[in-house]
Amino acid sequence: MFNIASKVLSTCASLGGTLMLLRFIPRELIPEQLRSDLFSFSHYLFTLASSNLTFVIDESSEMSSNEIYRAAHLYLATNTNLKKRRLRISKTEGQKNFAFSIEKDEVIVDIFRGIQLKWRYNCIEPREQYSAEKKSFELSFNRKFYDRVVDCYLPYVLARAKQIKEGCGPIKIYTRACPRSDHDTSFWRSMILAHPATFDTVAMEPDLKKMIIDDLERFVSREKFYKKVGKARKRGYLLSGPPGTGKSTLIAAMANYLKFDIYDLELASIYSNSDLRKALLSTTNRSILVIEDIDCSIQVQDRENRLEYDNSNRRLTLSGILNFIDGLWSSCGDEKIIVLTTNHKDRLDPALLRPGRMDLHINLSYCTVDAFRILASNYLGISNRDHPLFGEIESLIQSTEVTPAEVAEQLMRIESIDLALQGLVNFLKHKRSKCEKIEEEVAEIEEANSLKRDNEEKDISVRRKRRRGIRDSNTKTARRRMDQGLTE
């Protein structure tokens, strides 16, 4: 009996070795899909013939992303102590460090507390034209170390990935992906966020800036508090103000400060409430989900009409958005920030604005004196008020509605400090003169309209008096004739 078992194992090992060799045959001879299937089969045979156990870690778990998969991807690509042969390396313009990623079918060996663990990265190409590729990791180890791997190693990988992300890991910005099929779970596509904005360079009032920083720090540090009070660990910010006042820059500064990824969601790309839930569930923890210019969304404005349909799950409704922000689905995930931006806060439905949905309302208005000083320091390197034009510029800014973006544009046109500041003075004077002219024209129009209304009211009054006089005259005439008739 022992000899039979030995022969079976020997045969499996020989067949597995043969299949392993097929992996290195040129792709022209064996199609990619067949090579991948053969390698998986050989791996399965080795598993039967050994005492190893293999965990399969898919990219997504049910409707949401798999946290272990993301952590493994970051841990394996950036850990220099691991034994690996091939890595993808890239660097975009403006990116400080190299970005590494795992190559397809790569096997990486890790040693943890005397346990040898083998990672293999699988990326299976779609067999159908509109299907998505299937990505996963395989973690193999001796089955006698099962408890240590589950209780110690995997938590260690998650913790290390979090440290890497918070330390030097790149911040990414995600945008809506075009799904290849109804079963495509890859909802987002990403790239590294290269926006250099920080709270030191954001042009805004110091008190407002400090309030935002304190609120962010309080949010990320109160994990136990949120569990204690039974509240989902999320925070909602509403950024309002005219275009060019720095709403997008503030979001980038928040992401760089917290080391959170950004998910930029356009409601125009969402067709139903189920799409919205899919978007929420596929975002990672410690992230900022942004919906810009929400006042421009027809779906949000058209509240009554949208809610009339019984099949509301097949279309995007305000009810779906509110449930996404503050309902049961909003509790899926941890440490998530939702940011809505608008140029016209008064156009939003009041249901979006109440506490619990948008916890903090931040109004970013026109450029102030403090904001100008920050911009002057950023663009010209001037950190004091020694320049003779500062006083005139600050006086003009206080009396002119100008955005920080407009001021920054003037300061970066010319390298010379004197010429740049003089150009800003001329711009502010021209803008104030233009605004005054518009105000005068508006005042003249309003005065003309007022005179027109007064004349119309006078004409109406005269007509009323005439009609009243005619009625009185007719009444007197009728009474006189009636009196004459009675006398006769």
Q: Under a CB-based contact definition with an 8 Å cutoff, are residues 102 and 73 in contact?
A: yes
Residue 181 inside a domain? The answer is no
The per-residue pLDDT of the chain, averaged, comes to: 78
The answer on 214 and 111 residing in a single domain is no
Q: Residue 405 to residues 243, 245, 434: CA-CA distances in angstroms?
A: 9, 6, 18
Residue 180 lies in a domain: no
- Please state the domain count of the chain: 4
Q: Are residues 29 and 77 in the same domain?
A: no
Q: Are residues 197 and 346 in the same domain?
A: yes
- pLDDT over threshold 90, residue 182: no
* Cα pseudo-dihedral 368, 369, 374, 377, rounded to 10: 140
pLDDT band at 72 (very low <50, low <70, confident <90, very high): confident
User: Which of 156-160, 201-205, 227-231, 374-378 is predicted with the least confidence, judged by mean pLDDT?
Assistant: 227-231
Last residue of a domain, one of 170, 198, 213: 170
Q: What is the pLDDT of residues 216-249, one digit of tens each?
A: 999 999 888 888 888 888 899 999 999 989 999 9
**Is 487 within a domain?**
no
For residues 317-331, average pLDDT:
74
Task: List the domain range (segments joined by +) for residue 127.
Answer: 55-170
Q: Which of 28-32, 451-455, 472-476 has the lowest mean pLDDT?
A: 28-32
pLDDT the model gives residue 183: 45
Burial letters 194-211, b for 16+ CB under 10 A, else e: ebebebeebbbeeebbee
Pair (92, 31) in one structural domain: no
Say yes or no: 417 and 462 in one domain. yes
Give 170-183 as a DSSP string: PPEEEEE---SSTT
Query: Comparing 11-25, 396-410, 413-427, which segment has the lowest mean pLDDT?
Result: 11-25
- Asked, for residue 175, whether it belongs to a domain, the answer is no
Tokens of 412: 């970066």
Is the pLDDT at 404 greater than 80? The verdict is yes
In a domain, 183, yes or no: no
In the block, which residue shows the tokens 């220099």? Answer: 80
pLDDT above 60 (res 312): no
Is residue 448 domain-shared with residue 425, that is, in the same domain? yes
Residues 71 and 139 both lie in one domain: yes
Classify residue 486: in a domain, yes or no: no
328 and 434 assigned to the same domain = no
349, 402: one domain: no
- Could you tell me the pTM of the whole model? 0.69
Q: Which two tokens stand for residue 127?
A: 């067999």
Q: Which of 316, 340, 363 is the last residue of a domain?
A: 363
Reported as a single tens digit per residue, the pLDDT across 441-463 is 677 677 777 777 777 777 777 77
Q: Which residues pair with 174 in a beta bridge?
A: 190, 263
Q: Quick one: 197 and 329 in the same domain?
A: yes
- Partnered with residue 336 across adjacent β-strands are 234, 287
Examine residue 213 and state whether it is found in any structural domain, yes or no.
Answer: yes
Q: Which residue has the higher pLDDT, 53 or 313?
A: 53
What is the side-by-side order of every strand in the sheet holding 115-124? 52-58, 134-142, 115-124, 107-112
- Report which of 270, 264, 263 is spatially closest to residue 321, judged by C-alpha positions: 270
243 and 210 assigned to the same domain? yes
Q: Please state the length of the chain.
A: 488
Is the pLDDT confidence value at 26 over 70?
Answer: no
From residue 4, alpha-carbon distances to 11, 29, 47 in Å are 11, 36, 19
- Helix H segments across 197-246? 206-220, 223-229
Are both 330 and 457 inside the same structural domain?
no
**Helices H / strands E in the chain, number of each:** 17, 15
String of DSSP letters for 90-136: E--TT-SS-EEEEPTT-EEEEEETTEEEEEEEEEEPPSSTTPPPEEE
Whether residue 425 is contained in a domain is answered as: yes
